[in-house]
A and B are shown apart, each in its own frame.
Chain A
Amino acid sequence: MSTIDPTTAPPTIEVEHLVKTYSGLAAVDGISFTVRRGEIVGLLGPNGAGKSTTMRILTGFLPATSGIVRICGIPVASRTDEAKRHIGYMPENNPLPEDMRVNEYLYYRGRLKEIPREKLHPRLDEVLELCDLKRIRHRIIGKLSKGMRQRVGIAEAILGEPEVIIMDEPTIGLDPHQILIVRDLIGGLRGRMSVIISSHILPEIEVTCDRVMIINGGRIVAQGTPAELRRKVLGHTHYELQIAGDQAALPALLAGVEATLVVESTQGPDAEGFHLLTLTTTRDEELGEALLRALAAGSYRVRALNRAHPTLEDVFLAATKRSWDIVDARAGSKPGR
């Protein structure tokens, strides 16, 4: 398979107004998104946000209450078997049969995925090599370490060379070294297959994924590249500044640099007379140089200036908090419920 540019490639996953209710309780509440070919998308959300349910519906394992899911243009609800041929799936906790050998298991799965017998053996070798399982191919799965089991799960998911790969928490419970291996494995699929992964580990998602969707309460509360999310969700930029000088004149000076730039908090002064300030602005552009120039002109002594990089964690917390506020507001406006 050749590498494809994800920005122009046709969509392999299309989800429209997906709803799934369990006895009246909405686990997934009107989710819509598309994933293009070759794109790696991360699904973020707190526990019970609807990530696993969404993934299970995508695989055709669970029927949706309403909405449309198309995999490579094939509607999953009406042509489930056909859609399943385009999907490789690794469920949460990666369940594997305990009493089989690695290559036996992969061979069996390959047969179920309708890989012709003559192609299956070379493909098995390829996948075992790719996932670094060659050494342990004759070991019994029940006796493997968690990292190895995880690699077996990934090998199984990519075995049939599907267009779409769905992995529910592929790095959960792994040590940092194993996470790195799994991350490289997933990264290696970029440009060839569409991948959706869910995770709690945010730096993980940030490194691996082209795009992130944050789900909370069954809804997508934010989506975009990690950089876009920072801008959209947080809406402001922080600067950390260490200066000595007249604090009273500072707000006016800051307003001169940028109208929305204000002091959020002040610490100090320390023994050398330096204050530690946190500035905040709604502007996204770099203000560092202008700020330094203005401070020098105002005869302030500057020790450090640093533009704070919010982590995806901050974005995640802000986005989920915001969505809870919306949910609470909605619940509050419906008396009697």
Chain B
Amino acid sequence: MRHIFTILGHEIRMLLVNTSTYIAAVLFLTVMGLIFTGLLEVYSQAPQETSPASDFFRLFFLPVFILVPLMTMKSLAEERRLGTLETLLTTPVSTAEVVMGKYGAVYFLYLLFWGSTGGLFYILHRFAANPRLLDSGTLVGGYLYVVVSGLLYVAIGVFASALSRNQAVAAVLTGVMLIVLIWGVPLALNVSLLQLPAFQPVHAALEYAQVSLHLDDFSRGIIDTRHLFFYFTGTALMLILTILGVEAKLLHN
């Protein structure tokens, strides 16, 4: 497993010397900045019940939909398209190490991007005299949610990237899977068929997988181990499927 760090270091380096990373960072911060400014605008006009941080994190899925497909689409699809996966896997490196290294690098970048939004709160802290605007509990909970949920979202993206040689297809696939997870689950709960007693277990499972409710809990400072379990097992499942997917593609190449 010692190759993971070689691959991880290499991948992070390659991401950091890539222009598209910086373009993505600028776009991400622009969007987040606009959202944040809009929120503050609302807060400056009338007092609100919630803190800006909790509203800010409620919109977390917007950057997720754009950022995750863009960051993950390249990871395995590009290697397969160029054929460099073949040279990589003929060194004493296992598929699992390659997948974990690449996953780790994208996740690191994801955290880096989200971490940079901390600057927005710093500005608020620095220039707003009102300490009530900065609710540290919500802030910590929100960022913790981003850290934990990011594990799964990035894993979904890496999995999609393993399924296709085409980066665009991988990106669309990631987007669709994320939409199904974030928006599809609450919609599916409203389907009348699932209200039938026979589908009760499915309904219960879907209820448990509602991402927006997890966020609410985290923002309120409730760290439920069931939520953690959901994200950790989901991530593990996605990564195992990615490894199996890469190996299956090699077998049937």
Contacts and interface: CB of A to CB of B under 8 A. Distances in A.
Given A95-B87, A96-B84, A98-B82, A108 B92 contact: no
Interface of A: 22, 56, 59-63, 81-82, 84-85, 87, 89-91, 93, 95-100, 108-109, 111-114, 156
B22 to A, nearest CB: 14
B86 A91 contact: yes
Nearest to A93: B83
A112 B91 contact: yes
A61 B83 contact: no
The majority secondary structure among interface residues of chain B is: helix
Nearest to A168: B86
A156 B94 contact: no
Contacts of A91: 83, 86-87, 90
Given A84-B91, A109-B91, A113-B91, A99 B86 contact: no
B251 A63 contact: yes
27 contacts: A22-B252, A56-B86, A59-B90, A60-B90, A61-B86, A61-B89, A61-B90, A62-B250, A82-B92, A84-B90, A84-B92, A87-B90, A89-B87, A91-B87, A95-B87, A96-B82, A96-B87, A100-B14, A108-B10, A109-B87, A109-B91, A112-B3, A112-B6, A112-B7, A112-B88, A112-B91, A156-B87
A93 B93 CA distance: 21
A95 B6 CA distance: 20
A108 B6 contact: yes
B87 A81 contact: no
Contacts of B86: 56, 61, 91, 95
B18 interface: yes
Given A63-B251, A112-B93, A97 B6 contact: no
A95 B84 contact: yes
A60 B88 CA distance: 12
A99 B14 contact: yes
A212 B93 CA distance: 31
A130 to B, nearest CB: 19
A95 B83 contact: yes
B92 A112 contact: yes
Given A89-B87, A95-B84, A111 B14 contact: no
Interface in B6-62: 6-7, 10, 14, 17-18
Given A62-B250, A112-B3, A156-B87, A85 B82 contact: no
Contacts of A156: 87
Nearest to B81: A95
A100 B82 CA distance: 13
Given A91-B83, A98-B82, A113 B6 contact: no
Contacts of A85: 92
Contacts of A100: 14
B81 to A, nearest CB: 9
Given A111-B10, A112-B88, 10 more contacts: A61-B89, A61-B90, A81-B94, A85-B92, A97-B84, A99-B17, A100-B14, A108-B10, A113-B91, A114-B92
